[in-house]
């Protein structure tokens, strides 16, 4: 009888062991395998939240099948108490393991609602955007100019929302004065900026900011980023360029930035100005002349006058035979790289071609033909605009 009892106990023990091993294998597969999520989901981890609450939210959203396995797996990985507050995008089919990594690694929020304070060349605006899980992209909810428009409710309602991601977006080609003035209108920032930084010294980029962050600290971050970009690019520059210092290269980069908004043209535009410097030719770049008039404080808002093109100033590149004394804007990485790695061409001239880009030429004769073609396009557009006015009048 004891033999039968022992045999039955052993059988039950084996069955139990097999069941435990099977359960562990199933749990491991559940934790590491593809999840059930069919479209992107934005999970919000609020300050002070715990793993159970996050697991229940994920289960309710269909991102995981079993909240208990999620919690045990996170605990086994040593991350049960490592949650980071924020809003994080969970991709379709994400495993529990990858979700645990996402909500415990921290960093900036990747989804939810964000407010973008955009500082641009011709003006500033504020954009409220929300992540659309179906398209895995942001949808614009509201946009307004803080200098002209009343803030919409969709913006004011977010004033004290800790889950909102806030960014300051500085466009390439803005001047330092424009950056300082733009930061003054960012309502979530505090503190004063003691002085306008040197032209060209600020890095155009997107900067995440917290509520009540200091404006001076943000400026310091922009200064450090631009200095690092310039130093890196200067260290890897092409040999034989007509710049004696990194600062001269930054001046050239700023001119390139203002002369073309077409990415693939930057290296070609750089080659023209490098070729002109090497030949002792005047750069004849309008943006530099304009900067000499405005000092970077806003846009000119009109065409250049002949008297302005003839007037001798440090920035009038129709008169001086060198680079201007300072940058004329804050250039981005691509323009800095173009200045230090220009294309190899024999071009000396360029003019608008009517497509948003430019026509390039190596000879004055070819350039004059390109100019004539551009004048014709301008005339046709003028006739079309005039006709449109008459038709609508």
Q: Which domains does the chain have, with CATH numbers?
A: 30-110 (3.30.1490.480), 113-231 (no CATH), 238-347 (no CATH)
Residue 183 has what pLDDT?
Answer: 97
In 3D space, the residue among 288, 261, 262 whose CA is nearest the CA of residue 273 turns out to be 288
Q: What is the pTM of this model?
A: 0.78
Residue 1 has what pLDDT?
Answer: 54
Burial of 214 (0-12, 13-18, 19+ CB in 10 A): middle
Q: Tens digit of pLDDT for each residue in 346-386?
A: 999 999 888 889 999 999 999 999 999 989 888 887 765 54
Residue 386 has what pLDDT?
Answer: 45
Residue 91 has what pLDDT?
Answer: 84
Question: What token pair was written down for 93?
Answer: 């089919």
Neighbouring residues of 83: CB distance < 8 A, sequence distance ≥ 6:
45, 49, 50, 51, 54, 103, 104
Residues of the chain with pLDDT below 50 are: 386-393
Residue 367 has what pLDDT?
Answer: 93
Query: Which residues of the chain form beta strands (DSSP E)?
Result: 41-45, 86-90, 113-119, 124-132, 137-144, 165-170, 206-209, 349-352, 358-361
In 3D space, the residue among 43, 46, 48 whose CA is nearest the CA of residue 70 turns out to be 43
Angle CA 275–276–282, to nearest 5:
170
Neighbouring residues of 174: CB distance < 8 A, sequence distance ≥ 6:
119, 120, 121, 182, 204, 329, 330
Q: Tens digit of pLDDT for each residue in 113-132?
A: 889 999 999 999 999 998 77
Residue 221 has what pLDDT?
Answer: 97
269: helix, coil or strand? helix
In 3D space, the residue among 99, 106, 119 whose CA is nearest the CA of residue 30 turns out to be 99
Residue 285 has what pLDDT?
Answer: 94
Residue 393 has what pLDDT?
Answer: 30
């Amino acid at each position: 009888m004891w033999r039968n009892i022992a045999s039955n106990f052993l059988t039950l023990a084996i069955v139990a062991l097999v069941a435990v091993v099977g359960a562990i294998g199933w749990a491991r597969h559940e934790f590491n395998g593809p999840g059930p999520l069919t479209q992107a989901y934005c999970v919000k981890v609020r300050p002070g939240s715990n793993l159970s609450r996050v697991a229940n939210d994920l289960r309710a959203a269909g991102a995981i099948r079993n909240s208990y396995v999620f919690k045990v797996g996170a605990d086994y990985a040593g991350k049960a108490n490592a949650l980071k507050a924020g809003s994080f995008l969970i991709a379709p089919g994400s495993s529990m393991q990858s979700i645990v990594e996402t909500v415990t690694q921290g960093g900036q929020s990747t989804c939810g609602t964000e407010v973008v304070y955009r500082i641009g060349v011709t003006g500033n605006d504020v954009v409220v955007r929300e992540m659309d899980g179906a398209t895995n992209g942001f949808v614009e909810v509201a946009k307004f100019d803080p200098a002209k428009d009343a803030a919409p409710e969709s913006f004011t309602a977010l004033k004290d929302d800790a889950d909102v991601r806030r960014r300051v977006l500085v466009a390439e080609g803005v001047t330092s004065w424009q950056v300082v003035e733009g930061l003054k209108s960012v309502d979530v920032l505090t503190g004063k900026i003691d002085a306008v930084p040197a032209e060209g010294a600020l890095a155009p980029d997107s900067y995440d900011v917290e509520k009540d962050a200091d404006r001076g600290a943000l400026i310091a971050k922009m200064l450090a980023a631009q200095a690092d970009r310039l130093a890196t690019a200067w260290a890897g520059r092409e040999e034989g360029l007509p710049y004696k210092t990194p600062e001269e290269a930054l001046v050239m980069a700023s001119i390139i930035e203002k002369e073309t908004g077409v990415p693939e043209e930057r290296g070609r535009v750089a080659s023209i100005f490098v070729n002109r410097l090497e030949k002792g030719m005047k750069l004849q770049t309008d943006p530099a002349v304009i900067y000499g008039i405005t000092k970077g404080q806003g846009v000119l808002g009109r065409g250049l006058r002949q008297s302005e093109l003839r007037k001798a100033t440090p920035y009038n590149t129709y008169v001086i035979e060198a680079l201007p004394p300072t940058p004329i804007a804050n250039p981005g990485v691509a323009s800095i790289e173009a200045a230090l790695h220009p294309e190899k061409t024999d071009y000396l001239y360029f003019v608008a071609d009517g497509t948003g880009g430019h026509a390039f030429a190596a000879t004055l004769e070819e350039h004059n033909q390109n100019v004539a073609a551009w004048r014709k396009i301008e005339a046709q557009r003028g006739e079309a605009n005039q006709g449109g006015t008459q038709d609508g009048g």
